[in-house]
Amino acid sequence: MAEIDNYEDSSAQATDDVESSEENTDSADEETSRDSRDTGDEDDDPLSLPTCAREISVDEYFAEEVNEQEKEKMAEKDKEREEEKLEENEEEIEEKLEEKKKKRNRSKRRNKNKKKRRRSKRTKNKKKKMSRLNCRKKKKNMRSWKRK
């Protein structure tokens, strides 16, 4: 029976300890809230450090710096790519213009040649006709001479 009494006493003492620890945590929370209020007052204090001077871990600093460098590199690469694309487009346009000029020149030459051919055919035909006519005239003249 004595053991049971000791057990009950120890459990009662444990519950008292838990209650007292809860009271202590409540008071600690109040202290931290007071501390946070104090930091608000520090912002108003002209001697306090600005927020940009807060402590930054080395990893954070270098991570930010690396990110900025990567962004700059990416921006430079993007600009280079755009410039290359523009140069390629300009070259393509120039090539197309040259091809068009060549085609125009070819077509002009063809047209000139066609005109020459047409002219030559016409003149040939005219000459043939004239020669036929001349021959006929000559024949007529010859006939007339013979009759005389």
Q: Summarize pLDDT for 57-115 with one digit per residue, the tens.
A: 767 777 788 888 899 999 999 999 999 999 999 999 999 999 999 988 888 888 877 77
pLDDT greater than 60 at residue 53: no
Using pLDDT thresholds of 50, 70 and 90, give the confidence band for residue 20: low
Higher pLDDT, 72 or 35: 72
Torsion sign across C-alpha atoms 7, 12, 13, 17:
positive
C-alpha 102/C-alpha 82 separation (Å) is: 30
Domain boundaries defined on the chain = 60-148
Q: Supply the pLDDT for residue 81.
A: 95
Q: Supply the pLDDT for residue 5.
A: 57
Q: Supply the pLDDT for residue 112.
A: 78
Whether residue 42 contacts residue 48, with contact meaning beta carbons closer than 8 Å, is answered with: yes
* Closest by CA position to 65, among listed 54, 77, 73, 76: 73
CA 132 from chain center: how many Å? Answer: 77
pLDDT, one tens digit per residue, over 127-144 is 677 777 777 777 677 666
CA distances from 37 to 23, 28, 30, 43, 100 (A): 21, 14, 11, 10, 79
- DSSP per position, 28-54: HHHHHHHHHHHHHHHHH-TTSPPGGGS
